[in-house]
Amino acid sequence: MSLRAVAIERQHRRRCLFKYDGYRCLVKKSGETVELVSRNGKALNDSFPDVADAVRQVPGDFVWDSELTVDDRAGHSDFERLQQRARTRIPLRVHAAARESPARLYVFDMLARAERDMRAPPLEVRKQRLRDSFENSAVLVYASGIVGAGEWVWEQVISHAFEGMVAKRLASPYEGRRSPDWLKIKNPDYGRPAALSWARRYARLDRSPACQQCSLGSIPYPVQIVTHSLLR
């Protein structure tokens, strides 16, 4: 049975979300300190200060899991423009790039809140805590997903040319690795040469010891513990 068939057959026990075409981004906030960290441990603050500023406005300390994108006017993720922004570091050019190619953060999970590690509670508990933590804006978007509608979500993926969908078991804890609790189903007709090139470039880096750590500095427990385990 295919992953899509499993997701649809068990859709009433899973929350199905669109899979956005961007950078997986770990978001850490402690006081006024915000860190945006890519899956391979790369700091993204310098290239995306607009996103860091938006996160800074959210009350409290937390760790989020999210997808960082640059969308076109039709609402589709534009990976090439995202890469261009990520390569831009000179402040004047960064501000110009933010105006021309505004970034968006689709936030889909909460790993820590204040001094509480949130990875063990079920997905539905984490989603509710996340939903209560901020309001949607042009930059920050709560990726809600839909329970019991896997077939409909997949139809939208195909008709609107999204990258794919993710079907997450409602009772699942957070795991920073591949798991049958989270089924990722790719759209077979979706293509993005730039993204495939990026993936090949960092495939080995993702598994290297250097990417198991990042600059944690002032980020306290449990945020530090959650961050370290996520990047392993």
Question: Each residue of 11-37: pLDDT tens digit?
Answer: 678 999 999 899 999 999 999 999 999
Boundaries of every domain in the chain? 21-142+192-230
Give residue-wise pLDDT tens across range 121-172: 999 999 999 999 999 999 999 999 999 888 899 999 999 888 899 999 999 9
Q: How far apart are CA 27 and CA 38, in angstroms?
A: 9
CB 145 within 8 A of CB 16: yes
CATH class of domain segment(s) 21-142+192-230: alpha beta
CA distances 180 to 140, 157, 168, Å, are 28, 21, 9
- Pick the closest to residue 14 from 180, 168, 213 (CA basis): 168
